[in-house]
Amino acid sequence: MTRILVFVDNDRGTLSPSALEALTPAYSLADSLDASLELATVGEGGRAALEPVGLGGYVISHPVLSDYAPEAYGDALAQLVSEEQFSVVISLGDDRGAEVMAHMAAVLDQPLVANVTEIADTEGPDGSWEVIRVRWGGSLLERARLRSDLKFLTIAPHTFPAPEPNGGAGPLTTFVPEIPDSLARTRVVERVKLAEGLTLATAPVVVSGGRGVGSAENFAILEELADLLGGVVGCSRVATNNGWRPHSDQVGQTGTRIAPDLYIACGISGAVQHWVGCMASKQILAINTDPEAPLVTKADYAVIGDLHEILAAVIAEIKARP
């Protein structure tokens, strides 16, 4: 029987809000292939996090794996795949998932298909699969055929909703890999807390500013609106390049990819790289003086005009409401 393994990353026992998104296409794939579906995570802290999912699987445990160590994670996952003879491995393609899967594929000398949005066909005459994936920073979709015996895929973040926990606890077996000392060279050894509370990745509302904001001081009105809406402030790459905001605030391909309920883009033209970072937002409101700006044409709602006047009016209206 075909065995499918889903790697679910955890950060010291905590799953990210999107960690289980890869399970949704994995369930569909298991049904279509009549395959078994199992989970894998790293560190004993992940055991409790996975128990509500209700699937069996493996907790990879080793002293080197006490915190994130991408090379060691990848090598350990490769050992599990080989020893247990899994033929399909899937993970969410976020920063850590993509990095770990790339290391695993390299160890096993197999191709990795990244940022998959659809598994279109698993019945190729030569055993190949047809998949659709995001390429070039989200500017195009590629239809590709995967011809390896072992199928390794990462799922593009925010493509599928995470399934609801089905209750019950599947058996999670401890797997202890052999980790060479050399693989401990890349691992987290210290953490510095930069901020508490909401972040770009978790906030329900993000208010972002770009070149049109004009200066670092002018971000004050964006911060006021974000505070009133229970959100956080983001920015475009131009704002970070100009020194108006730190890189940690940047939304985009080289910043943070977000999926808030509402994204308010103020004075941001919306190059492809920025669109990649915000396109998973449930609703996008663009405020810009240019009605032909790329983000304006893609947004769910747009207001054309001076962002400072518009935000001042919005803030006044919010404050006037009981």
Residue 195 has pLDDT above 60, yes or no: no
Q: Within 13 Å, how many C-alpha atoms sit on residue 200's CB side?
A: 21
pLDDT, tens only, 78-89: 999 999 999 999
- Name the pTM for this structure: 0.72
Task: Say what the pLDDT of residue 70 is.
Answer: 94
Residue 29, phi-psi category: left (phi > 0), alpha (psi -120 to 50), beta (remainder): alpha
Please report the pLDDT score of residue 169 as a whole number: 62
The answer on pLDDT for 23 being more than 80 is: yes
Asked if residue 194 has pLDDT above 80, the reply is: no
Query: What CA–CA distance (Å, rounded) separates 22 from 7?
Result: 9
Print burial letters for 217-233: b (CB count within 10 Å at least 16), e (below 16): ebbebbebbbeebebbb
Helices (H) and strands (E) in the chain, counts: 9, 14
Asked if residue 167 has pLDDT above 70, the reply is: no
Query: Which single residue is written with the structure tokens 């969410």?
Result: 92
pLDDT, greater one: 164 or 159: 159
Stretch 236-260: mean pLDDT: 92
Q: d(Cα 208, Cα 238) in Å, to the nearest integer?
A: 12
304 vs 134, residue with greater confidence? 304
What is the rounded average pLDDT of the residues 192-200? 72
The pLDDT tens digits for 96-146 are 999 999 999 999 999 999 999 999 988 888 889 999 998 876 678 899 999
Domains, the chain, ranges and CATH? 3-186 (3.40.50.620), 205-319 (3.40.50.1220)
